[in-house]
């Protein structure tokens, strides 16, 4: 009887633990993590923002200014934590409130890939699976908007400047894809590819994941995914918080 009571208590605590994410709309993503040596190494910050936007959060990098009308304690601080493992990469993500208390911690994402870029990206995507399963829905939260000060809101330098986020990227600007243009998949090390056109020039770089029908993709400065749907390939990414899906013609 005691064991059943403890089980129910843990179950109820876990439910409340996950649902508390719904109280928040804004997340701040750091550019550097404790287990990495440089900013946005292996594009972990970029991939984090992509996944968080897809979940439904408003996301700012740590070098961006969060608007003045957002209460500091209605913002979650995001982090990625690496666990030790032999020949495996283990990552999980945490969300902390303004007091440093963990609001939610994901399941561990595990990857056995040997290439660091692929392994870290694969493990992070797997960690996000448990977040997607929460089916996040913002419920309005509490104290999200503080008393507005028009004189401050009218100053453009106080608001988010989207171009700042571009500083994280180092690739050239992306251009729209022609769905009728045939791109050839050129194999690279570690199961990765680069898609080239007839010029030839590299159009998209692809990074292997655990799913044969899905790749992490980089087109110029645009980060996204290449997914196969109904025997057709689509490059999908977020632009101005809107999901963009571009059909492309690929020959592997």
- In terms of domains, do 163 and 189 share one? no
Determine the pLDDT at residue 131.
96
Asked if residue 159 has pLDDT above 60, the reply is no
Q: Among 134, 168, 202, which residue terminates a domain?
A: 168
Q: How far is CA 218 from the centre of its chain?
A: 14
| Among 84-88, 131-135, 149-153, the range of highest mean pLDDT | 131-135
Q: Are residues 12 and 114 in the same domain?
A: yes
Taking only the tens place, the pLDDT of each residue in 40-64 is: 999 999 999 999 999 999 999 999 9
Q: How long a stretch of residues is the chain?
A: 252
The 3-state DSSP class for residue 185 equals strand
On the question of pLDDT at 8 being above 90, the answer is no
Residues 66-93: tens digit of each pLDDT: 898 888 889 999 999 999 888 899 999 9
Place of tokens 């979650």: 76
CA distances from 30 to 50, 196, 244 (A): 13, 33, 25
Dihedral sign for Cα atoms in the order 63, 94, 81, 244: negative
Does 173 reside within a domain? no
HSE-up of 91 (CA within 13 Å, CB side)?
24
Higher model confidence: residue 177 or residue 249? 249
Domain assignment present for residue 176? The answer is no
- Which pLDDT score is estimated for 76? 95
Same domain, 140 and 190: no
Average pLDDT score over residue span 127-137: 95
Q: State the total domains in the chain.
A: 2
Summarised one tens digit per residue, pLDDT across range 169-228 is 333 445 567 777 888 888 887 788 888 887 778 888 888 887 888 888 888 778 888 888
According to DSSP, residue 191 is labeled G
Among 126, 141, 168, identify where a domain stops.
168
Q: Which 8-state DSSP code applies to residue 63?
A: T
Higher pLDDT, 91 or 65: 91
User: Would you say residue 174 lies in a domain?
Assistant: no
The whole-angstrom separation of Cα 78 and Cα 65 is: 16
How far out from the chain centre does Cα 239 lie?
13
**Is residue 240 pLDDT above 60, yes or no?**
yes
The predicted structure's pLDDT at residue 242: 80
Q: Residue 29: pLDDT above 60?
A: yes
Residue at token pair 């208390």: 101
Written as one string, the DSSP assignment of 209-251 is -SSTTEEEEEETTEEEEEEEETTEEEEEEEETTEEEEEEEEEE
Quote the pTM value: 0.55
Same domain, 204 and 160: no
Pull the structure tokens for residue 17.
């633990």
The alpha-helical segments, DSSP class H, found in the chain are 2-19, 44-55, 116-132, 150-153, 162-165
The helix/strand/coil state of 205 is strand
Angle at 173 between CA 170 and CA 177, to 5 degrees: 130
Residue 175 has what pLDDT? 58
pLDDT at 168: 41
Last residue within a domain, chosen from 168, 198, 226: 168
Identify the band that residue 142 occupies on the pLDDT scale cut at 50, 70 and 90: low
Provide the token pair at 96: 């902390």
d(CA 98, CA 200): 50
Q: Which domain holds residue 247?
A: 182-251
């Amino acid at each position: 009887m005691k064991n059943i009571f403890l089980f129910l208590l843990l179950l109820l605590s876990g439910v409340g633990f996950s649902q508390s994410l719904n109280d928040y709309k804004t997340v701040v993503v750091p550019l550097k993590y404790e287990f990495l040596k440089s900013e946005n190494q292996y594009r972990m910050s970029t991939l984090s923002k992509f996944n968080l936007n897809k979940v439904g959060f408003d996301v700012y990098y740590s070098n961006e200014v969060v608007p003045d009308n957002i209460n500091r304690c209605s913002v979650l601080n995001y982090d990625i934590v690496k666990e030790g493992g032999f020949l495996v990469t283990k990552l999980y993500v945490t969300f902390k409130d303004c007091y440093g208390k963990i609001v939610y911690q994901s399941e561990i994402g595990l990857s056995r890939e040997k290439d660091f870029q692929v392994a870290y990206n694969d493990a992070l995507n797997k960690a996000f699976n448990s977040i997607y399963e929460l089916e996040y829905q913002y419920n309005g939260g509490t104290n999200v908007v503080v008393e507005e000060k028009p004189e401050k809101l009218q100053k453009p330098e106080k608001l988010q400047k989207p171009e700042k986020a571009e500083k994280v990227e180092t690739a050239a600007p992306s251009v729209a894809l022609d769905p009728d243009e045939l791109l050839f998949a050129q194999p690279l090390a570690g199961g990765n590819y680069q898609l080239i056109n007839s010029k030839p020039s590299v159009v998209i770089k692809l990074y292997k994941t655990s799913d044969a029908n899905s790749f992490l993709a980089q087109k110029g400065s645009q980060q996204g995914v290449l997914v196969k749907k109904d025997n057709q390939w689509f490059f999908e990414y977020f632009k101005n918080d809107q999901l963009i899906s571009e059909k492309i013609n690929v020959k592997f």
